[in-house]
Amino acid sequence: MASQDPREANKKPPFPKQEQDFPGSEAKMDPLPDFGEKSYKSHNRLQGKIALITGGDSGIGRAVALAYAREGADVAISYYNEHEDAKETERVVLASGKQCLLLPGDIQKEEVCKQIVADTVKKYGRIDILVNNAAFQGKTIESMDELTHDRVCQTFHTNIIAMFDMVRLALPHMKPGGSIINTSSIQSYQPSDFILDYATTKGAITSFSKGLAQHTIKHGIRTNVVAPGPVWTPFIVQSFPPEKSAEFGKNNPMGRPAMPVELSPSYVFLASDEATFINGEILGVTGGLLMG
């Protein structure tokens, strides 16, 4: 059977005009993001693993949680307060025959990060895979005056400082063979001025991960990065104005954004034993946008 043209593999803009407030709801998006419930096929790559995924309620995080569960892992997902979305992620994980631990809370706070790790270890006994995926992206700006001190602090605390905390707290509960996967972005390489605070943190994540990989491999734990291009997630409708979200991904070489299900195989690969000699690498899933 001939392979499908990747440009036509998922829905293309224009999408219906829509806008949401932070933190956004996947359940209210149109079209609904495809996270793989009907299409993701297991290859038994993560049997018996324990995975902790931040930002696991929706978007890329939900797609990764579903894929990990179908690959044989029990999962814990942390999220801010999007309980409806988190319950849907829990539903599909449980339907895959695996356990799912829901961990709400604001990871800007160190004590929340401590509780997330403690609750995961209490339930599962260890952490084999840590996916640092949670992030904050504010409304697009037109002037630097809109990048207030408080907004920049929120972006940095959520996107990079919490990542330091999660790694520091999780590492004592990880053994050789473990894997850390951090979510960066094409914004690390092609930063946009209208989300400059977000883009800056994604650049920091790339540098953090390359350096972290040199440290964690001394303990037999690999660290890698997935750098997505445009992906149709609640981020888009809660940060872009309706006119821009309607055309989101139009200028990508594919002519469309990715759906979350198109990201999850990269996270599975990097967490699996098929990637045992991959450490400190950035895996771009950008639709053809150039990195570097």
> How does residue 1 score in pLDDT terms, banded at 50, 70 and 90?
low
Residues known to be catalytic: 198
**pLDDT, tens digit, for every residue of 125-165?**
999 999 999 999 999 999 999 999 999 999 999 999 999 99
**pLDDT, tens digit, for every residue of 183-205?**
999 999 999 999 999 999 999 99
> How does residue 3 score in pLDDT terms, banded at 50, 70 and 90?
confident
Q: Which amino acid is at 36?
A: G
130/265 Cα distance (integer angstroms) = 16
Does the model's pTM come out above 0.95?
yes
CATH architecture of the domain formed by 18-34+44-285:
3-Layer(aba) Sandwich (3.40)
Name 47's Cβ contacts closer than 8 Å, sequence gap at least 6: 71, 72, 73
Instruction: Spell out the domain ranges in the chain.
Output: 18-34+44-285
The per-residue pLDDT for 292 is: 76
